[in-house]
Structure 1
């Protein structure tokens, strides 16, 4: 079971992961997080950045390290990570890497109610999804190959994993589409009859 974090927003994880390297002001934190693509690795709500930074400071995970000024811009507070923040970051990383957690994805939710759409519409929608996923796979594979030429593999592991997951999804959707279009998917006749009559198939009435 996931631990209850003092600041559980994943943006807090991203902030800690960049300030562990050097003190930064919030604007710089956001720039570095974006530059490293961490906003693609985890859901981030940028509007809550200053709230998250404030909560991290409140809970002793980062602290005020002074202020900086760039040109005519107003002074910005610079924050550095505390020993407690380093410990929290390491513990959080251990949990995320070592402990599987159930992540409820929107696609899983859609599959759970796909029966209301009917086979023909499901085939059409899955075909559209497969095309989009394959395009995204091509884009991410090209980006990974480009980044691998300049970055150590250690900093690209999340990109490799994301690509592998998307490729697995494409393979699974492709197989499902083949079963649906060929008629090999079990219960297709009952599914179509349910859409036509509204009556639950006999083999499902006892469930």
Structure 2
């Protein structure tokens, strides 16, 4: 599989927004934040402008006009090119079809949950459940305020449904594991501590 000339997911978000209409980068950033997509894509002014310029250099988007407003600096409006449209559709198709190996930090930490000891592990997992509860509530509220209120078609926010399912699944696993530690059904073996600073001279 050939490596794409532009491969960061923020570029995917930009191309996705330009499916709706031509936009300038400031409007792109505002729209991503309003729709809660900054939880899926890392959005900041510098990275967004760098991404837009990279897409322009590779011919995936093009300038269509410059908007002038006496109260604001000039803003360049962009639209996708035919090449950019083809790349976008191909990229989405590839990402949907083919699972990619990812390395979440939480999974890496869970591999060493035993290092915390039962009591501290219960405390840490309980705190994670509280954070997940807040994220789940925020996700539901955003869906209600956009799709539920009829402001956006469901298809435009469908990744929010997926993200909510992932959060709920993670919460269920985290709470279940915490409860198993708490009631003793998840066995916590006694691990002999080794003093690595000494050598056995016997």
**TM bucket by the smaller chain?**
0.7 to 0.9
Q: TM-score, normalised by structure 1?
A: 0.84
2:171 aligned residue: 170
What value does the CA root-mean-square deviation take over the aligned residues?
1.9
Assess if the C-alpha contact under 8 Å between 2:36 and 2:142 holds in 1.
no
State the SS of the aligned residue for 1:30: helix
Assess if the C-alpha contact under 8 Å between 1:10 and 1:44 holds in 2.
no
Q: Deviations over 1:108-142 (max 9, x none)?
A: 11112223222221111011111111222123223
State the SS of the aligned residue for 2:65: strand
State the SS of the aligned residue for 1:181: helix
2:138 aligned residue: 139
2:149 aligned residue: 149
Higher helix share: 1
Within a 5 Å distance, the mapping from 1:23-42 to structure 2 comes to 23-42=22-41
- Mapped to 2, the partners of 1:152 and 1:72 lie a distance apart of 33
Q: Deviations over 1:175-200 (max 9, x none)?
A: 111211111113x132xx34xx238x
Q: Deviations over 1:33-72 (max 9, x none)?
A: 2222221223334321221111101101011223110223
Q: Deviations over 1:148-170 (max 9, x none)?
A: 23133222321111111111111
1:64 aligned residue: 63
State whether structure 2 residue 94 is matched by structure 1 residue 95: yes
State the SS of the aligned residue for 1:118: helix
Instruction: Name stretches of at least 5 consecutive residues in structure 2 with no aligned partner.
Output: 196-202
State whether structure 2 residue 148 is matched by structure 1 residue 183: no
Give the stretch that moved more between structures: 107-116 or 51-60.
107-116
- Mapped to 2, the partners of 1:122 and 1:173 lie a distance apart of 11
Assess if the C-alpha contact under 8 Å between 1:15 and 1:33 holds in 2.
no
Cα distance change of structure 1 residues 141 and 29 upon mapping to structure 2, 3 Å threshold: closer
Deviation of 1:30 after TM superposition, in Å, equals 1.5
Number of residue-to-residue matches in the alignment: 193
Cα distance change of structure 1 residues 198 and 129 upon mapping to structure 2, 3 Å threshold: farther
2:13 aligned residue: 14
Cα distance change of structure 1 residues 142 and 113 upon mapping to structure 2, 3 Å threshold: same
Assess if the C-alpha contact under 8 Å between 1:114 and 1:122 holds in 2.
yes
